[in-house]
Amino acid sequence: MSDDLSKRRLGRGLAALIGEMDQPLPVGTPRSAVNPDRTVPIEFVSRNPRNPRRYFDETELQDLAGSIRQHGIVQPVVVRTSSADRYEIIAGERRWRAAQLAGLAEIPVIVRDVDDRTALELAIVENVQRADLNPLEEALGYEQLIAEHGYTQNDLGEIIGKSRSHVANSLRLLKLPEPVRDMLAEGTLSAGHARALVSTPDPLALAKTIATKGLSVRDAERLAQNQIRAQSEPSAAIQREAKDSDTIALERSLSDRLGLSVTINHKGAGGQIRIGYKSLDQLEEICRLLEGR
């Protein structure tokens, strides 16, 4: 399957590739021609080790297992063949896990012939569309597609139906230290909390404060800005002392005009102008102004 075709089909959602599960077959269509549903022993089915989803709520699994005991598995698990009589899950690992808890010996499956890349793409798309991934799992899934298959942030945004800035903000979460990422995965911190910590000098200390005090995202952002400001103020004060009043006035004028932080540093006959931004929207606005649009 070509890259463009794969992206177009995935962009229409999971059903574009696995097919509608509840549509009747046209009269006279051979079952073998459409890769029909089948029931297989549950021990012949294994999880996809590349599935980005790592965390499954035990209480929710038990509730689903209870429903499966009463009604069975309503929606088949989508799999691909891994060997002669073995299958690997593409979509539906949660149902497979709950079926094991319910004690099912067999489960209904839909078999699809896809490669490693498409299986990973489908796993990410399905989980994102159903909001089954926590923010860290989502970010790791995006990173995996970018690193292994050369997707751009724009590509991913089109596939999952979200903005490029959403993808970029998700990827920024991977810059956090491991203990903070664990708090995010466990749900102790929300994605909004975590994004506020990315650029701070000590994100773990702030994360603990946020969790202990139960701070809102807005409070977390304010706390993060205070920490960033406290770190930068001494050096900024030294720089201001070394600048003449005209340079300082020009910095203020440009800052007021752009609505952003502007710093001018002279170096001999030349120098540097630095424009600070706090969001991707502000960065896009800077690019728009520089391009004269």
Residue-wise pLDDT tens digits, 39-70 = 899 999 998 887 777 777 788 888 888 988 88
Band (27; pLDDT cuts 50, 70, 90):
very low
Question: What does the pLDDT read at residue 269?
Answer: 75
What does the pLDDT look like over 142-192, one tens digit per residue?
888 888 778 888 888 877 777 888 888 999 999 999 999 999 988 899 999
What does the pLDDT look like over 248-293, one tens digit per residue?
878 888 887 777 888 888 777 778 888 888 777 778 888 887 777 5
Active-site residue, from 93, 126, 138, 158 = 93
Question: What does the pLDDT read at residue 247?
Answer: 81
Question: What does the pLDDT read at residue 47?
Answer: 86
Question: What does the pLDDT read at residue 235?
Answer: 53
Contact 94, 56 (CB under 8 A): yes
What does the pLDDT look like over 71-87, one tens digit per residue?
888 788 889 888 878 89
What average pLDDT is seen over the chain?
77
**Mean pLDDT value of segment 85-100:** 88
Band (12; pLDDT cuts 50, 70, 90):
very low
Position 80: which residue type?
Answer: R
Q: Which tops the pLDDT comparison, 96 or 25?
A: 96
Tokens 């995010």 belong to 184
What does the pLDDT look like over 195-241, one tens digit per residue?
999 888 899 999 999 999 999 999 988 888 888 777 765 555 455 55
Annotated active-site residue 93? The verdict is yes
Q: Which tops the pLDDT comparison, 89 or 18?
A: 89
Question: What does the pLDDT read at residue 233?
Answer: 56
Burial of 109 from C-beta contacts in 10 A (0-12 / 13-18 / 19+) = buried
Q: Report residue 110 CA to chain centroid gap.
A: 27
Q: Give me the helices (H) in the chain, please.
A: 3-11, 15-18, 58-71, 93-102, 116-129, 135-149, 153-160, 164-172, 178-186, 191-197, 203-213, 217-242, 245-258, 280-290
Question: What does the pLDDT read at residue 29?
Answer: 34
Question: What does the pLDDT read at residue 251?
Answer: 82
Q: Which two tokens stand for residue 11?
A: 């962009």
Report the CATH number of the 33-113 domain.
3.90.1530.30
Band (127; pLDDT cuts 50, 70, 90):
low
Nearest to 275 by CA among 267, 266, 284, 264: 264
> What span, in angstroms and rounded, lies between the C-alpha atoms of 88 and 133?
19
Which residue ranges make up each domain of the chain?
33-113, 178-242, 243-293
